[in-house]
Amino acid sequence: MTVIEPKYKYKEIEKVFEKLISENAELTKHFSKEVDLSEYNLDDDIPYVDIGSISRYIVENKLKNRTSDFDLFFKNVEEVYVNGDSDVQNFIVVGLFEGIQNIGGEEIEYYRSFNQWLNSETQKAWNGIIDYWEGTEWRIPKNEREKREKEIQKILNKKK
């Protein structure tokens, strides 16, 4: 049986960053102001901090409704995630996705507002991190959750 080496490896994290910002001049310019990839190395640089630059860029543009480059960006994210080693996959989930969700918060309605750009595997990972921190209640439509909550309160009030 042949073992296929992952295309993206955490020990070569600069290649991950290069792919994430590739073909996007504005994101590349933004990222390059904060991070120098030319001599990037895991001994001196902190990838989980540096990915925050990309998370901030995504949130800022989402808030301004400047999302025309999101299709390409999230296509690149899917490519890296699917073809990355387990450390790269964790980096995408914990570094990028949690960064976007934490920076943007409810202001960007992160539960569903990125669904149109996320692809198959990254959609599962995106939802999985929400499930991990918040449980799965968010998956139930708001009106159904409210209806269920009213029914629960009605039952609880009868017991008093």
pLDDT at 146: 83
Query: Mean per-residue pLDDT for 115-128?
Result: 97
Closest of 136, 128, 66, 70 to residue 101, by C-alpha: 128
pLDDT tens sequence across 50-104: 999 999 999 999 999 999 999 999 999 999 999 999 999 999 999 999 999 999 9
pLDDT at 139: 82
- Partners of 8 in the beta sheet? 84
Of the listed ranges 29-33, 127-131, 133-137, 140-144, the one predicted with least confidence: 140-144
pLDDT at 141: 81
Burial 21-51 (b: 16+ CB within 10 A, else e): beebeebbebbeeebebeebeeeebebeebb
Return d(Cα 141, Cα 104) in angstroms, integer.
21
pTM, 2 dp: 0.86
Helix (H) or strand (E) holding 73, with range, is: helix 70-82
Of the listed ranges 2-6, 22-26, 79-83, 101-105, the one predicted with least confidence: 2-6
Return d(Cα 106, Cα 110) in angstroms, integer.
7
Return d(Cα 75, Cα 67) in angstroms, integer.
13
Q: How confident is the model at residue 21 (pLDDT cuts 50, 70, 90)?
A: very high
Query: Mean per-residue pLDDT for 133-160?
Result: 83
pLDDT at 9: 97
Indicate if the pLDDT at residue 151 is higher than 90. Answer: no
Query: Mean per-residue pLDDT for 32-61?
Result: 94
